[in-house]
Amino acid sequence: MSVDVPPLSKHERFRSWLYDQHPILQITYKLLIAVVGFLVVAVGLVMVPLPGPGWLIVFAGLALLGLEFPLFKKLNKQIRGKFIYVWLQVKRRYQAWKRKRAHKKTNL
């Protein structure tokens, strides 16, 4: 019985190549991802009260950190689940509001 293994993404191929090269490169890569990810999150948090896409940048930084760190990957999954739940609730309420509004217009 053979098991089909899905092909690796570009990021996974790059990471496996990098890890095979030298341990110092592995540490450098993780450090670079951590520094850039936290900088993006910090810039996003600064932009939250200012005009601009603050939360979007914060989530992009968390996604970047999720590339290398399992804790942030888990956090991304939880945030995505909450976002989808809220989005579906808003969509359901909006559709109910539209139906109610259309019903009122036809009864006038």
Which pLDDT score is estimated for 43?
A: 94
Straight-line distance from the first to the last Cα atom of the chain, in angstroms, rounded to the nearest whole number: 68
The ranges assigned to domains in the chain are: 10-107
**Token pair for 104:** 């009122």
Which pLDDT score is estimated for 2?
A: 63
pTM value? 0.66
Q: In sequence order, what are the residues at sequence separation of 6 or more whose Cβ sits closer than 8 angstroms to the Cβ of residue 25?
A: 18, 19
Q: Tell me the pLDDT of the chain (108 aa) as tens digits.
A: 566 777 778 877 877 777 777 778 888 888 999 999 999 999 999 999 988 888 899 999 999 999 888 899 899 899 999 999 999 999 999 999 988 888 877 766
